[in-house]
Structure 1
Amino acid sequence: MEAELRTKTGAALLDIKTLSEKGRFEGYASTFGGEPDSYGDIIAPGAYTETLAEHAARGTMPKMFWQHDPNEPIGKWTSAQEDEKGLLVSGQLNMGVQRAREAYELLKAGDIDGLSIGYRIRGYEVDEDSDVWTLTKLDLREVSVVSIGANEHATVASVKSGRRALELADKLKAGERLTEREFEDLLKGSFGLSKAQAERAARLHLKGLDPDGRGDPGDAADGLAFLQALAG
């Protein structure tokens, strides 16, 4: 089960350092440590080391999109590197593209000043008491120029749900058993089932695995097979 692509925007990311008349600019796409951001996350120093090395080996860079829309590339990133503060990126807007010219004017006027990363989680640690995630290893796919999302709380809820599903899928892969509640959470987070649908599917599956009907989640291998069948 491949980890879903996630995005992250928050006050800590709004740091455009320079902007030239030709559309060249530099800024921090994310910052390390400190207080948890609006998603309840802390990004650890070194989180980008592996993914940046992979891009360098392939001769590629993360894509530059407008508002995380892959149908609206607006230029290219020319460099990305970690320093003591965070992920510093330099880019060139394609001034022959209308959307890039609009982005330039909005950045110049200060109407928008956001950079946001699109990534998959490769490594993380969770503080169970505070529900703060420390992201230790990320697969960086793109960095977008963005404005603040209109419905931040809905976005945060969606991301948290996806993360919970990722954590539970990792338990199954490790051969651990899930409780009925955990199995329901996984169905809701990974497959978009409603609460009632997830409860019914979990009961049916668990009953099939356990002849005495007590709700034992059964073998992890059976759980993975069931999820793979759901995914088609």
Structure 2
Amino acid sequence: MPPRETKRAELPLSRASPAGVVEGYASLFGVGDSGGDIVMAGAFARSIAKRGPKGVKMLWQHDAAQPIGVWTSLVEDAKGLKVAGRLDLSVARAREALSLVSSGAVDGLSIGFRTKRATTDMASGLRRLQEVDLWEISIVTFPMLPQARIDAVKRTTRPLHEIQLLRLKAKEAALRFQRKLDQCGAHTPF
């Protein structure tokens, strides 16, 4: 059985929501990485069909002992492997990851896989990965493919505690209004 490998791509994870939703490109097609590999279009198709997003683990820095969330979408488009996932904010490391991603301190994505089919160009030494068995995608500090980055960390316009406070104030205002109606003898039609 071929050994497990990892490839890090550097496209920024620039948006993450307070709910921990992250998006980005975990790999780009036709772009050489610092390890001398080029992932070809279609390389992930069979693996995605076989495993689906739930079968590909979301890890912190390729550490199998540190799962930090789940991938909800894995799609090959014309550019590469576009991914979306959700950090599990009940896990301390995931909360730390969200903070680091949100601040821009960490924004890399990296794939962990087994090579199924590849060719090597003898002149350049570059290996073209035509099919890989994708088993994990990690949020990393230093991706091997400089362009593989988180490009989305979705945010709400207000922090959750502010939204909850606004809801509470709206409920209180509705209760005050109802009390005034009751004091005036007005009846609500419902």
User: Please, what TM-score do these two structures have when normalized by structure 1?
Assistant: 0.59
Match of 1:55 in 2: 51
Cα displacement (A) at 1:109? 0.4
Cα displacement (A) at 1:25? 1.0
CA distance in structure 2 between the aligned counterparts of 1:17 and 1:28, rounded to whole angstroms: 11
- Matched letter for residue 122 of structure 2: E
Match of 1:107 in 2: 101
- Matched letter for residue 119 of structure 1: F
- Which of 4, 12, 36 is matched with 1:40 structurally? 36
Spell out the pairing of 1:121-200 with structure 2 (5 A cutoff): 121-148=115-142
Q: Percent identity?
A: 44
Q: How many residues are paired up? A: 144
The unaligned stretches of length 5 or more in structure 2 are 145-190
CA offset digits 1:72-127 (Å, max 9, x no partner): 11010011010011001110001111100000000000001011000000001110
CA distance in structure 1 between the aligned counterparts of 2:12 and 2:40, rounded to whole angstroms: 18
- Matched letter for residue 96 of structure 1: S
Residues 6 and 51 (structure 1 numbering): CA distance in 2 closer, same or farther, change over 3 Å?
same
Match of 1:8 in 2: 7
Cα displacement (A) at 1:19? 1.5
Structure 1 stretches (4+) deviating beyond 3 angstroms? none
Match of 2:18 in 1: 21
CA distance in structure 1 between the aligned counterparts of 2:128 and 2:15, rounded to whole angstroms: 29
Cα displacement (A) at 1:17? 5.3
CA offset digits 1:9-46 (Å, max 9, x no partner): 14xx3332531111011110000014x21111111000
Cα displacement (A) at 1:60? 3.5
Higher relative CO (Cα under 8 Å, sequence separation at least 6) belongs to 2
SS at match of 1:20: coil
- Which of 82, 86, 92 is matched with 2:76 structurally? 82
User: Please, what TM-score do these two structures have when normalized by structure 2?
Assistant: 0.72
Q: Which has the higher strand share?
A: 2
- The alignment status of 1:73 with 2:67, answered yes or no, reads yes
Are the counterparts in 1 of residues 27 and 111 from structure 2 also a CA contact under 8 Å?
A: yes
Match of 1:95 in 2: 89
- Matched letter for residue 26 of structure 1: E
Q: Which has the higher helix share?
A: 1
